[in-house]
Structure 1
Amino acid sequence: MLLRIVPRKNLSGLVSAVVAAALALAPVAPVSAQEGKGGPPILRDTETEVLLREYTRPILRAAGLEKQNIQMVIINDASFNAFVADGRRIFVNYGAIMQSETPNQLIGVLAHETGHLAGGHLAKLRQQLATAQTQMIIATVLGAGALAMGARSGSGSGLANAGAAALAGPGEMIRRSLLSYQRQQEENADRAGVKFLTATGQSPKGMYETFKRFTSESLFAARGADPYLQSHPMPADRVEALEGLARQSPYWDKKDEPSLQLRHDMARAKISAFMERPDTVARRYPLSDTGLPARYARAISTYLHGDLRSALAQIDTLIQVQPNNPYFYEVRGQALLEGGRPAEAIAPLRKAVQLSNHAPLIEMLLGQALVGTDNNAYTDEAIAILRAAVSREGEAPLGYSQLAMAYGRKGDYAEADLASAQAAFLRGDNKTARELASRAKTRFAVGSPGWVKADDIVSAKPLPGQKGE
């Protein structure tokens, strides 16, 4: 589990240091930021998100969290990591998907993170931090008082040293207490993860294999480290305990279904094609590899970096193999759309929408193609499709930005301003969002649904990482 907490400005530097030591296990791209290195911090892809939801659904059911609407969020980071941060979402780096060779390895990591959610570890950790803050403030005040007494009495270093000890001693004790508490959380999440996997008839071997791999990579770094200053259990001890639990499962040797392995490999191939350099993709998926995932990766990489005609031909051969795969039609439509041929993108994207049971992100692509034709005959259809998409997927700026263009083409400038404001707000540009929403309010009747939505944006406080006034 990874957390990134920004301490409040009114906390002392000492308190901030304790919080950082307890929670800053590794750098995390802030989800609310507009963009990170190499692109936006969040990656969206229907194919991959559907697969991750299928991975987590039985685990969440076993954990009693099925009705909590836990969302899966893919982070634009090539390192292997997954974490929970708010009790409502499981964040997964795309690197974790890429580096998990089997579904079971990734499912094991997701089971561990579900253990954190089921255990209420985030709320409990916040309680621990609140207690630590209070204790630290008291210790700081007492320590500062001792230092001041020493200075006033002119007694030299005796009271001053006592004051310094009062400042440093409790801080170290509290830091060790917090780290110990978090180590216990990790151990509990391991046990819960194995429990959920067993309850759903899945093997915990993938979870063990993943943690063992990272143990071997981190053993040298942990050599000689104080085990009481580690936020996670010492690697060897943790994996040894996990192995003992995992091998007790009757499903230890159960393998992933071949059809699931294929879908897993297809998602990895797609991520590789979109996120890696073309030469890297070519090495990972050489022409000698005639498997479907390799052909998928090469087709996408070709449309992104090569010849569109060749890419379309490769995609068409994929469609011949799996004519009911919505994501092949999605890629074909996206290639045509980004290749400046929106009218030709409409047909494959319509097919993708149909086969995907109206996936909202694909509907947004279709709406973009309809808007991109500059054909007014498509305007009403684009608005209907985009409104349906944003009603079910309200966190994708693309849907609102295309909706704004469609409304503008129709001459409905109130709705166009509102949609533009919503898109800006989702991109994290709070200042622009407020300006557009303020203008939208002047176009709507006071108290109308559009006016209320615009007013909500004007009144909204900037999120961390967003542009303010």
Structure 2
Amino acid sequence: MMPVPAPRTSTWQSLRRAAVGGLIVSLVSATTADAAGMIRDAETEGLIKTYAKPILNAAGLSGQAVDIHIINDRAFNAFVVDGHNMFIHAGALMDAKTPNQIIGVIAHESGHITGGHLARLRNQISRAKSAALMLQLLGLAAMAAGAVAGAGELGQLGMGAAYGGTDAAMRMVLAYRQDEESSADQAAVTFLNATHQSARGLLETLEFMNSKLFGVQGINPYLQSHPLPPQRLAQLRTLAQSSPYFDVKDPPELQVRHDLVKAKLFGFLDQPETTFNRYPPTDLSLPAAYARAIATERKSGVEAALPQLDALIAAKPDWPYFYELKGQFLFESGNVADAVPPLRQAVALAPDEPLIRILLAQALLAMPGMKNVDDAISNLRTALARETTSATGYRQLALAYGRKGDAAKAAGARQQYLAQAELASAEAYFYEGRLKLAKQQAKRAKAGFVDGTPNWLRADDILAFQVPTTE
């Protein structure tokens, strides 16, 4: 499990400007992720993909490459920023009692994508800006008239109009948002029905949101008094309960996976004592043992956690993520040689999980011997074919090729390995958003490749890349 830094500021500011479809107030919640960052974890991402696949198929989005990202934030929230990126807060996974609740969230966000709500929101915001400007101009004119006439009330009215222009514009956008939320709910029920899944989870989620949203001090009164939220819930309740699949339950094996991911997130993100209180020794379930093993390692180190990790593996020997966790903890503690066997077993059980292969490659590169370097390169190449934007993966690949170049005896072979190292380094910088350094490395790499070859073309692509301009 790997928390990673938030995207670079310009990217994340664009995300905040564009966010639409949050089950709470996405534009506010997204801001917290700027500091908190993202979470990368093979087990959690695999579960989310399992939830999302049938919904995206039903929505006609399976060919659109929709990526779902996990934000390290405890708020229950989710939102989309365009037709290709959906964001779910860790808090949503940690608070959801059933898979169906998260599946409902994914269906709702998919409804925003298929409804083209983001493009419409941009248009509405543009209109709202115009309305705000007009109100401000009218307000300033009224203040001027009041000053000339000596009419205090007129001047105060003008001041209210001038400073209230932005608030009026916001109410205009929020009213529009409520309509889009209802539309996304209806689309979600359609997708859930098409996949023979219940809309109960979505209804439960929105009822939970409603109980938290209303009556809370400090929230804009418009959000408390606007009549659409209860209407929205009533409409969704009617739609959900009329579905022939309303009483369909999640498969037991999916519920187990859901509970394991929840336990993992609590183990990593909560303080160890909080985790021990949430999952006391009297709880003999597998998820509870999972959470306690993670909390034990965080509090007392890997040696204290090893018996618990081994007990998890004995209880479910076909579960790759228990081996991955053991390997991760051993690697992070400096026991590299001991980390490799469980990581190899995790890869054997989950060969299509690129994040596990990258971790195995890191462990292999921390050990001596060119055989380990070759093994690392093989795993990294396989991983990067799927995880194409992993700066960590490319950074490890650059290290591996650098070691190959240093060990090469023939000048030609050395030049090729070092050029590949420079290209991998350029890729790493590129996906970190450090474009100047990426171009410097790409220029050196390009000089070492034959014109027109795939590596030469990729280096040339990085050199030619320009940051897209945004409004």
Distance 1:232 1:359 in 2: 46
Matched, 1:90 2:90: no
What amino acid is aligned across from residue 98 of structure 1 in structure 2? M
Matched, 1:392 2:394: no
The answer to whether the 8 Å contact 1:346/1:366 transfers is: yes
Structure 2 residue corresponding to 1:313, chosen from 307, 314, 319: 307
1:1-400 aligned within 5 A: 6=13, 25-29=27-31, 36-37=35-36, 41-133=37-129, 139=134, 174-221=169-216, 227=222, 234-400=228-394
1:431-450 aligned within 5 A: 431-444=436-449, 448-450=453-455
Q: CA deviation at 1:183?
A: 1.1
Q: CA deviation at 1:457?
A: 3.3
What amino acid is aligned across from residue 322 of structure 2 in structure 1? F
The answer to whether the 8 Å contact 1:142/1:163 transfers is: no
Q: CA deviation at 1:434?
A: 3.8
Distance 1:415 1:257 in 2: 47
Residues 415 and 304 (structure 1 numbering): CA distance in 2 closer, same or farther, change over 3 Å? farther
The answer to whether the 8 Å contact 1:183/1:233 transfers is: no
The answer to whether the 8 Å contact 1:69/1:88 transfers is: yes
SS across alignment from 1:125: helix
The answer to whether the 8 Å contact 1:140/1:167 transfers is: yes
Distance 1:278 1:356 in 2: 29
Q: CA deviation at 1:350?
A: 1.8
Q: CA deviation at 1:174?
A: 4.6
- Number of equivalences: 438
Distance 2:326 2:468 in 1: 36
What amino acid is aligned across from residue 386 of structure 2 in structure 1? R
What amino acid is aligned across from residue 367 of structure 2 in structure 1? T
**Residue in structure 2 matched with residue 421 of structure 1 by the alignment:** 426
Q: CA deviation at 1:291?
A: 0.7
Q: CA deviation at 1:368?
A: 0.9
Query: How big is each residue's C-alpha offset from its partner over 1:140-186, in whole Å with a ceiling of 9 and x where there is no partner?
Result: 897599699x79xx96679x979979867876665443222211001
SS across alignment from 2:216: helix
Residues 306 and 123 (structure 1 numbering): CA distance in 2 closer, same or farther, change over 3 Å? same
SS across alignment from 2:69: strand
Q: CA deviation at 1:423?
A: 1.9
**Residue in structure 2 matched with residue 20 of structure 1 by the alignment:** none
Distance 2:468 2:277 in 1: 41
What amino acid is aligned across from residue 356 of structure 1 in structure 2? A
Residues 391 and 231 (structure 1 numbering): CA distance in 2 closer, same or farther, change over 3 Å? farther
**Residue in structure 1 matched with residue 7 of structure 2 by the alignment:** none
Distance 2:139 2:464 in 1: 42
The answer to whether the 8 Å contact 1:401/1:423 transfers is: yes
The answer to whether the 8 Å contact 1:437/1:454 transfers is: yes
The answer to whether the 8 Å contact 2:263/2:288 transfers is: yes
Query: How big is each residue's C-alpha offset from its partner over 1:347-379, in whole Å with a ceiling of 9 and x where there is no partner?
Result: 222221121133111111111111111322221
Q: CA deviation at 1:448?
A: 4.8
The answer to whether the 8 Å contact 2:139/2:160 transfers is: no
TM-score, length-normalised on structure 1?
0.82
Task: Identify which range, 355-364 or 341-350, moves more after superposition.
Answer: 341-350
Matched, 1:454 2:423: no
Residues 156 and 450 (structure 1 numbering): CA distance in 2 closer, same or farther, change over 3 Å? farther
Residues 29 and 450 (structure 1 numbering): CA distance in 2 closer, same or farther, change over 3 Å? farther
Query: How big is each residue's C-alpha offset from its partner over 1:60-113, in whole Å with a ceiling of 9 and x where there is no partner?
Result: 122122222211111111111111111112211111000001111111111111
Distance 1:230 1:180 in 2: 13
What amino acid is aligned across from residue 416 of structure 1 in structure 2? A
Residues 442 and 156 (structure 1 numbering): CA distance in 2 closer, same or farther, change over 3 Å? farther
Query: How big is each residue's C-alpha offset from its partner over 1:402-431, in whole Å with a ceiling of 9 and x where there is no partner?
Result: 111101111132222222232233233344
Identity within the alignment, %? 44
Q: CA deviation at 1:24?
A: 6.3
Distance 2:150 2:437 in 1: 57
Distance 1:51 1:249 in 2: 25
**Residue in structure 2 matched with residue 11 of structure 1 by the alignment:** none
Unaligned stretches of 5+ in structure 1? 8-14, 17-22, 465-469
Distance 2:283 2:304 in 1: 18
Distance 2:225 2:351 in 1: 44
Tell me the C-alpha RMSD between the 2 structures: 3.5
What amino acid is aligned across from residue 181 of structure 2 in structure 1? E
Query: How big is each residue's C-alpha offset from its partner over 1:434-465, in whole Å with a ceiling of 9 and x where there is no partner?
Result: 4433443454456554344334334444589x
Q: CA deviation at 1:6?
A: 5.0
**Residue in structure 2 matched with residue 407 of structure 1 by the alignment:** 401
Q: CA deviation at 1:259?
A: 1.2
Query: How big is each residue's C-alpha offset from its partner over 1:98-140, in whole Å with a ceiling of 9 and x where there is no partner?
Result: 0001111111111111111121111221232344456666x38
TM-score, length-normalised on structure 2?
0.82
Distance 1:365 1:353 in 2: 10
Distance 1:132 1:212 in 2: 30
What amino acid is aligned across from residue 355 of structure 1 in structure 2? L
The answer to whether the 8 Å contact 1:96/1:106 transfers is: yes
Residues 163 and 438 (structure 1 numbering): CA distance in 2 closer, same or farther, change over 3 Å? farther
SS across alignment from 2:100: helix
What amino acid is aligned across from residue 124 of structure 1 in structure 2? R
Unaligned stretches of 5+ in structure 2? 1-10, 19-24, 406-416
SS across alignment from 2:63: helix
Distance 1:209 1:119 in 2: 23
